[in-house]
Every structure is written in C-alpha cells, then in structure tokens.
Structure 1
Amino acid sequence: MTAPSLTRLLTGLPDRLPGLRAVYEDLHAHPELSFQEFRTAGVVAGLLRGQGWQVTEGVGGTGVVGVLANGAGPVVLLRADMDGLPVRELTGLPYASRATAVDAEGHEVPVMHACGHDVHVTCLLGATAQLAAARGEWRGTAVAVFQPAEEVGGAPAMIEDGFLDRFPRADVCLGQHVAPAPAGFAGTRPGPVMAASDSLRVRLFGRGGHGSMPESTVDPVVMAAAVVMRLQTIVSRETAAAQTAVVTVGSLHAGTKENIIPDTAELRINIRSTTPAVRDRVLAAVDRIVRAEAAASGAPKDPEITPFNSFPVTVNDVEATHTVMTALAGALGPERVFTLPGTLTGSEDFGVFGTALGVPSVFWHFGGADPALFREADPEALVRDGLPATVPANHSPYFAPVPDPTIGVGVTALLAAAAPWLCPEDPRPTAGHER
C-alpha cells in the first residue's frame, strides 16, 4: 500500500511523463563518452535551475549537483550517472544515436547509451521536479548528484573535487540502475549487491618481421592468443564452484597488415569478483599466466601489466535496504519487488559516495524491458537462469529500455526510497551518523 506522503509526492507525475519522455529521447540521441558529458550536463543544469534547485556544475569534471533545502530534516543523496559507451547503436529506433566522438586515446568511436544512463538521468530529473513541486509534503534537504564517467569510475573524481565539503552531508545515499528485466519490477539485496571490478592493460612484446619468415620473429599475436585461452582456466580450474569470478578479454589489438608480424600486442582484461580473497587470487593468476606465456614464447622483453578502472564491491546497508525495499513494495506492489538471490557480477562506483561520507547506501535495479519478451514475469528466475535470447542486456548495441512504463517506475522508485527519510509523518529510520 502506497504511503500517503508518497501519494502526494507523486501528484502530477502522469502529466509530467510526456515531457520526461522527450528528455529521454533527446539524451538517448545525443550520448557522450565518460568525462565528455558537456551537453548532457548543460541539459541537466538548465532543467534543475528551472525547477528551483541550487545548481553547481563542473564537479569532478562534468558532474552536476543540485541542492534543494526544505527545512530541518535528514539529507538524502539521490544519484544518476550520465555517460554513454563506445558502441554503435543497432536498435533502429527513430531516436537512435548516430553520434561519434574522440575517445581518451584519440580514436574516433561511435557512441551509444548502451547501459541505460539516459534512463537514470531522466528518472532523477523527474524525481527532482516532483520534489520541487511538492515542498509542502516533505522536510529536509535533497542532494541530486548527476555523476560523470561511471563507466570509468567518475565517483572518486567528484569526491576528490571537494564533494564532501562543498555540499550538505547526506544521511543516506540512494541510487538505481535499469536492467534487462520486465518493466515494472525492482530488486536488490542487503549486503554485497554488485561485484568488484578490476581492469588491466597488458602489453606483450615480440620481435616483428615478414609473415613468410615467422622463424625469424617472436610472434606477439600467437602469444596473445595463448594468453587469452589460458586466462579462461582461471575461473574454470582455479576458482571454486561456490565462488564467483569473471575474467573477460574485451579488447585485443595487434598489427597493421596480414603479411607483417608486429612487434607488440595489447590486451584489455576485465575481472569481476565478490570477495577480497577471490579478487587477490584472480589478479595473481592473471599476472602469472601473462608472464609465463611471454616467457614460453621467448619474448625479448617482460610484458607490461597496467591496472586501471578499479571499483570496489557495492555493499548495501542492511537496515537501510530493508527500509527501501519496504517502501518500494508499497509503491510498486509487493509482488513486483524481489530480493536478488546473490551478488550480481556487474559493477558500480556508486558505493564510493556512502563510503566517503560514512553513511548507509542502497542501490537497486529496476526493469526496463518489454514484459512481452518474457514467458513469465519472474525476475528471480532471470538472475538464476539467464536472459531469454530475445532480450538484449546492458552494453549490447540493441539495448533500449521501453520508455513506458520504465520512466514512471524509475521516478516512483526514487521518490519511494527517499520518502522514509524526507516525509515527516512516515516512520523514519535512524540517521546514518551524528549530525
């Protein structure tokens, strides 16, 4: 049953949804790479100012922070991420992205909102509009964080830019992510909810030469292929079945022509883990395998292994998660809110805010896929058994959440999660720290 305070916070949302859909389609058609979200930040800042929020731009590079103080009470941080991915969109939508950009290494790449961050921005803008229009229904301070560069760890950049001292100190941090589950559903769990992520850049050194005379070379392409295949044994042969780890080689580059054996090859490796012990073991195994394959190939130089983009495990506060799940069940219906059976192997840097502030944080996922694509509406089974082949996952060139009802559900979920802290007549949880 929806709490009376939330009902009042949601007043007028149906009339607002067409405008939010227009914002979503505009953002989807104009994605920007990490730390390049200048247009997106401008759209966000302009809309927030129009709603009456105090706005600060350029936080952590391209981040935007809105503050709406509304009397004495708790401070609630609501976060959305803004960046797109170097993916060429293949959805065929009328508002599909045709954008390109120059990445951090100087390469021109296609850009797409392949992870749904355009949905996150739109939903938070809807929530900020509702809060601004219903100031008589809540008390406290809302801090809306539009974060850059989640795909490469933009949250620490905001913290390093003085976030803790420049903005009201939150009592709780709340965030959400659209997922390839049926629209209308939401799920999370207390404790570890998303895996740690570590990315490595590996450069292998060979000795180049003519493709017709491989005996006079040390072929880094063959070396790289051996590394890729051997890395697959880390999960299959060095990680217990009851433990969780993922090792992915997402990029392999070598050479310029079919009859030239190059001098070098570069791999980019991503590792997901859910415990420190597994993380340490997998990282050590990657290092061992890369160096051993180079030695076995007679490489003239040791490989270079450079870490980048490291995210910790995202951990939900137990008490705050119970509060949020109860609120989501009241808003969406108890049959549409589920507990994730385990830690997801996707990763997030959202938890950096709660950790830096020393306060509870809660992160949940909400469905964005057409329910007609699923034989049964059972998100728990999706987590357990995997997606149907007809449902594109995040980072796919075909990933495109359905705007209706996804946007309305996302706005409702943010307001429902914040209401236990901001609405005075509802029971409030204990503050996360001494004020």
Structure 2
Amino acid sequence: MTMQLDTPRLAHPDRRAAIGGQVEAAFERVQALYRQLHQFPELPFQEHETSARLAEALEALGYAVTRGVGGTGVVALLRNGEGPTVMLRGDMDALPIEEKTGLDYASVQTAESNSGQVPLMHACGHDLHSSCIVGAAAVMAGLREQWSGTLMLICQPAEEIFGGARAMLDDGLYERFARPDVILGQHNMPALAGTVGHIAGGAMAACTNLAVTIHGAGGHGSMPAQAVDPVVIAAHVVTRLQSIVSREVPPEETVVVTVGKLHAGTQANIIPHAAELEINVRSFDNALHARVVESIERIIRAECEAGRSPRPPEFRVLNETIALHNDAAAVEQVRRAHAEQFGEANLYAMPRLNGSEDFPLFGSAEAGGFGGDDIPYVYWFIGATPAERWAETPGASVSEKMRHLEMPHSPYYFPGNAVTLRTGMAAMAAGALAWLAP
C-alpha cells in the first residue's frame, strides 16, 4: 500500500508501544526462522539455503525481493510513498567452528573448505542479524500507514571474509535498486541483553590480511652455506615487523601487526625452499593503515635481500576492509530513537572495537566504488548476555564485564536469546522510523 503524504504520522509517545506490538506479533515466526538458520549455517558465498529462507520470509511480508545479488545476497524493497530511502543491513555467513553451546538446535553441519571438511557454527550471530532484518521488515510492514519513503533491506553474504559488501556493490546494488540516504546496521555483543550501545566516529578498525611468500634455496640441513634458508629470513621478519608499531606509529594511534601464520619445511634436516606467512594489520585511521602495510612490504623486501633470497618476496592481499566511522549526527538521531524505545537506562556507551567489518564499504564512495558523496551510516551494538549471567559477572563497567564473557567466534557463544532477538527487531525498526517517520 502506498500512503499519501498527508497521512498522519505516528506520534512519538505512541511509537514505543506500536513497535513493541508489532514485534510481539512477529516474534514466534522470527524466532523459528532464527533457530532454523542457527541449525543450518553456511560458509561465506555458500549461503544458498540461508538466502532462500530469508528471501521467502521477506516475500511473504510483501516486499519486492531480488535474489543472487553479489552471489548469494538478497535485496528487499518496500516503497511506501515519497520520502527518504533507509537501508538496513544484516549479514548471513557462518564460521568453520565446532559448536559447543549444547543447544537442542545446535549446528551439526559440516562443509568443504580450503582446509578440507570443517564443522560449521553461527558463532558471530549472523543468524541473529538476518533474523532481526526479517523481524524489522515485519514491524515496518505492519506500521506502513505511519511512515513514508523507501525501506531497503540487505541480507549480505561473506562478511567474515570482507567479501560480501563489495560483491553486492560491484553487482550494481545502488544502480539497480536505490541509493540510500542513510545506512543502518547492528551487531550483537556480550553486553546485557535488552541494552543497546552507541559510538560516534571511529568505532571499528580497518583490517588487512596479507599473505607473503619468502623464497629460499632448499638443501640439506648439514650444508647451510649451499642453501638459502627462508626460515631464518622469516624469523627476522617476524621480530622486525613489531618495530613498526613501536617506532613508526605515533604513540597516540592504535595499530596491531600480527603474524598469525608461519609455515615452512617438512622435517628437521631439510632447509625448505620457501616460507609462507600470513599477516594481520588493524588500525583506526585508513591513511595510517596504508602506510603500515607499505612498511611491512618494505621490511620484508629488505630482509629478503639481506638474507640472499634468490627471488623477491611475493605479496597477496587475502582480504581487507576500511575503518568504520559512524556519522556523529546520524548516531545522535538513532540514539534518540532508541532512548524513546528502550529507555535511557538501557543505552550504554560502546567502547571502540579493534574488530573489523565490511559494513563501512556501503557508505564510502571511494572504497565502495560507487562514486558521488559518501553515505552516512550508523552501526550500533545490541547486548546478548542474559540478566542472571550479567549480574554474576565481575566488573563495574560494560567493558570490564565483557572481558569475563564469551565473545563472538567462541564455540560457546550464543547471542540468540529471546530478549536480544526482540531488542534487535525493535532497534532496527526504531532506527528506520527515525528517518521515515521523524
């Protein structure tokens, strides 16, 4: 149904009750969907069953749904008269982790990966995120006489490898559907269930995962002078890289350089022909981040030359994303809406996270490759720890308590309790209405 511009809009005092009523009306269906998604997780760009279930749920609510955007992505539109376009984004992919939550709908799925057959688990709560998208879609459809504009819903694949956002953008997301005026997203965290955390400005780190091959000249371990040992070169690289943070980065900046993988050789008396490294870089400043990556490459080239490497090192970016910087004015608008919905006491100041997301690519014209001006975005955090567990957890602040709780990517992490699911549905809808029914 398309509304007229003179349709009365929902008064703010009534909005909380209206959203809450729609959440309750849709909750059982959304919870069933969540449990189904949790039980049958899929790896990045393999979310065929997941995206089909989400597409069917959105079609049943009356949305115009397109499947297969950027591979397995889903786009759903509800055009409801004149007004702004608000985009809500949720992710869908799971992780190669064996679930140990003990839930009666725990995953027992496995899949083929580069590492062979691996167990699968929604250990980051992407099943929760996509379920909340469907829940918010139900709320907004139920309230469509009270708002005007276009609601654009994104079920994104492959967030865990920073691939899905770019794939959807490269597939013409904004040209084929709509270019949003604001982009909203959320992530679960082990804060108190029922609470919502906000942070303006720098919220999450840029990330680059870099694969490096250091070439040597293999030989017998008893005759090192007739060989070039890539293990020795790699050892110097590992220690020298740590000098970037201590000697090249200003002290007030936060940068992490981690060598997470170092592989060479097959047995003790063989000098291998090459060494393979994988390096993770995180920072909150995109320009500084690029300089750190340049420093890594400079140091590795120099160490290879010093170690008589017969060939230059090879570099390959496995995946990367930019820092997430929430638009301050948009954060304030969302925060006001959430204060009305949940009460000021249920909001918290979210600390900056060194984790990373490909969500900001949707808002960055340069990094996202869509041209024109940047699009403001807000990414907030919903608590996932039940009240009893929260009360018995030591610590005075949110940050202190979270240090003692399972974090995303733990095989024991479970954010999908009923309170968090309801909160996520309502938070998405309230955020959208901040623009569509101000």
Q: Pick the TM interval, shorter chain.
A: 0.7 to 0.9
Three-state SS of the structure 2 residue aligned to 1:13 is helix
- Indicate the residue corresponding to 1:313 in structure 2: 323
Question: TM-score, normalising length from structure 1?
Answer: 0.88
Match of 1:348 among 344, 347, 357: 357
- 8 Å contact 2:70–2:170 — kept in the other structure? yes
- Indicate the residue corresponding to 2:386 in structure 1: 370
2:397 pairs with 1:381: yes
Three-state SS of the structure 1 residue aligned to 2:363 is helix
Summarize the Cα distance change of 1:224–1:172 in structure 2 as closer, same or farther, 3 Å threshold: same
Three-state SS of the structure 2 residue aligned to 1:207 is coil
When structure 1 is superposed on structure 2, of 184-193 and 155-164 the one drifting more is 184-193
2:123 pairs with 1:114: yes
The amino acid that maps onto 1:58 is G
2:418 pairs with 1:404: yes
- 8 Å contact 1:66–1:144 — kept in the other structure? yes
**Structure 1: segments with no counterpart, 5+ residues:** 429-435
Identity across the alignment (%)? 45
* 1:21-420 correspondence runs (5 A): 21-103=31-113, 105=114, 107-151=116-160, 152-210=162-220, 216-257=226-267, 260-341=270-351, 343-356=352-365, 358-374=374-390, 381-383=397-399, 385=400, 387-389=402-404, 391-420=405-434
- 8 Å contact 2:395–2:401 — kept in the other structure? no
CA distance in 2, matches of 1:252, 1:102: 23
Q: CA deviation at 1:118?
A: 1.0
Summarize the Cα distance change of 1:101–1:411 in structure 2 as closer, same or farther, 3 Å threshold: same
CA distance in 2, matches of 1:366, 1:353: 21
Q: CA deviation at 1:402?
A: 4.1
Q: How many residues align?
A: 420
CA distance in 2, matches of 1:336, 1:351: 26
Q: Deviations over 1:346-374 (max 9, x none)?
A: 22221222334743211111111334444
- Indicate the residue corresponding to 1:432 in structure 2: none
Three-state SS of the structure 1 residue aligned to 2:108 is coil
CA distance in 2, matches of 1:375, 1:234: 41
When structure 1 is superposed on structure 2, of 173-182 and 282-291 the one drifting more is 282-291
- 8 Å contact 2:124–2:409 — kept in the other structure? yes
Three-state SS of the structure 2 residue aligned to 1:131 is helix
CA distance in 1, matches of 2:198, 2:220: 55
Root-mean-square deviation (CA), in Å?
2.7
CA distance in 2, matches of 1:18, 1:306: 46
Q: CA deviation at 1:22?
A: 2.2
Q: CA deviation at 1:210?
A: 4.5
- 8 Å contact 1:374–1:388 — kept in the other structure? no
Summarize the Cα distance change of 1:184–1:260 in structure 2 as closer, same or farther, 3 Å threshold: farther
CA distance in 2, matches of 1:327, 1:81: 23
Q: Deviations over 1:296-338 (max 9, x none)?
A: 4332222112223221222222221110011111212212212
The amino acid that maps onto 2:427 is A
- 8 Å contact 2:393–2:401 — kept in the other structure? no
Question: TM-score, normalising length from structure 2?
Answer: 0.87
CA distance in 2, matches of 1:412, 1:349: 23
The amino acid that maps onto 1:118 is D
